[in-house]
Amino acid sequence: MQLTPERRARIRKERIFFSAILVIVCLASSALVLVNLWLKESDRDTTYIPKQTKLTPELTRLQEYVRIDTSHHNEIDGARWLAAQLSREHVPFEIVEAAPGRASIYSRIRGKHAGDGLLLLSHMDVVPAPPEHWTRPPFSGAVYLNQVWGRGTLDMKSVTICQLEAFLELARSRRQPEHDVAFLAVADEESGSAYGIRWIIDHRRDMIDGIRYALNEGGVTETLAERVTYFGIEIGAKQLVMFDLIAPTREQLQKARIALEPYSGNGDADLVLPEVVRYFHAIAPFRLEPREDLDDLRRTIREGNLWRLPRPYRELVQNIAWAGAIRREGDHWAMRTSLFNLPNVEPGPRIEWLKKTVAPFGVTMGPLLVNDPPSRLSSDQTPLFALIAKEVRKQYNVTTGSQILVKSTNDSRFLRPLGIVCYGMWPFPVDFYQTEGIHHIDERVRADWFQSGVKVVRDIVLEYALSEAPVT
């Protein structure tokens, strides 16, 4: 068939068009293949592939310790197990009971010089763990997917074992330390510490005499793709006062709540401590949106941009008043209220301020339910802080700095007012998903990470104890 010139031109255009479509489809398919390969490579970097668990003596000890259910005001059971570990190495110890079953265990290796002692502090009690919904029984200490499962694996029996291993290693060395090193595992941290560290301060002050530094729970290990990106050493926390506001009617408490709303974290800075400035500067490189505002906190405040920081950061420069739900209590109404006071702020004037703020509405304050000691921050400029940072960098090749707790607390809050410099640390990596198990189901710690923490604490304690370098 004879084609006209117009028909030939149209066919050429159609061929060019469909060829272009074919090229685009091929390019898109190639791009999809490349993206898929990239995603697989990304998954390889971020997906946890369990390693084979290497059973070591310290891992076995952690399993045994976790299997002891100390959630029923029966810390004596944990104390007896720890005593057996000390006895095996012929290390003297003492068990004291603030009340039947509410035991603490104490041991000390005397140094060449008085003062500047190091305290390894932990608590033996754990919160209850009903077995429903747990992947593994909460007091089994089972190893599954290279993780030790059970209540206390993070809070804080794993840290206790790290401290115990370091203490026993020092005892085995048969070398007298330059300064005292003490091991103290206490009762009752989870429910107010009345039968634990507070009782010891009131009745057995000799256990902490001569102590300059304490290592305790706390701190943070930020992780990404199984790598620690920031290691935070806890240097303090805000002070907590808790009570009920009481009124004859619900409406009166609602008015009081409205009056307190401006003080719930929406205002300006009340106090900017140099430790907070350094903390924000240290974590700034690891944040996205608030990076510039965190990098120079004083500039951020000066330029009126504090509001741009997320609430947990703002609250480290603000005294907070927080009102909870209103409830009926017999013939009156009550509203649980908390004051979160900044370090170096005395709680007395803050309590009086709140009373005056709510008084015009016919609202009064009930008995104090919690009234912690005034908060103090431990210096992040000491030789021990530098030693911790050095050993952590050596083990994890990571940026180290401080951390300040916004709403959680630990027993260090009772020691800092006595002049003891306290540092909180997780000596091993803990990822976000593991932290969700603290006080909840499926608490667990990775076995290989835990073992790295044993080494970190051992190196810190032995270096501190046996080095002749100044420690104050």
Helix, strand or coil for residue 330? coil
Does 259 lie in the same domain as 192? no
The tokens describing 32, both together, are 């999809």
* Residues 90 and 196 placed together within one structural domain of the fold: yes
Report the DSSP pairing between strands 113-123 and 211-216.
parallel
In a domain, 346, yes or no: yes
Residue whose pair of structure tokens reads 């431990």 in the numeric block: 378
Count of beta carbons in the 10 Å neighbourhood of residue 454: 25
pTM for this model (two decimals): 0.87
Residue 243 lies in a domain: yes
229: number of Cβ within 10 Å: 16
Looking up residue 323, the CATH number of its domain turns out to be 3.30.70.360
Torsion of CA 372, 97, 160, 432, to 10 degrees: -40
Domain match, 246 and 206 both: no
406 in a structural domain? yes
Cα 212–170–115 angle (5° rounding)?
Answer: 20
Same domain, 226 and 94: yes
Assigned domain for 49 exists? no
Please state the domain count of the chain.
Answer: 2
Per-residue model confidence as pLDDT tens for the chain (472 residues)? 454 555 555 555 555 544 545 444 454 444 444 434 443 444 444 455 677 778 899 999 999 999 999 999 999 999 999 999 999 999 999 999 999 999 999 999 999 999 999 999 999 999 999 999 999 999 999 999 999 999 999 999 999 999 999 999 999 999 999 999 999 999 999 999 999 999 999 999 999 999 999 999 999 999 988 889 999 999 999 999 999 999 999 999 999 999 999 999 888 999 999 999 999 999 999 998 899 999 999 999 999 999 999 999 999 999 999 999 999 999 999 999 999 999 999 999 999 999 999 999 999 999 999 999 999 999 999 999 999 999 999 999 999 999 999 888 999 999 999 999 999 999 999 998 999 999 999 999 999 999 999 999 999 999 999 987 766 5
Enclosing domain of residue 283: 239-371
Q: Are residues 400 and 262 in the same domain?
A: no
Query: CA-based angle 20:26:29, to the nearest 5?
Result: 140
Same domain, yes or no: 106 and 185: yes
Outline where 400-466 has alpha helix (H). 412-415, 432-435, 447-466
Per the structure block, which two tokens stand in for 133?
């919904």
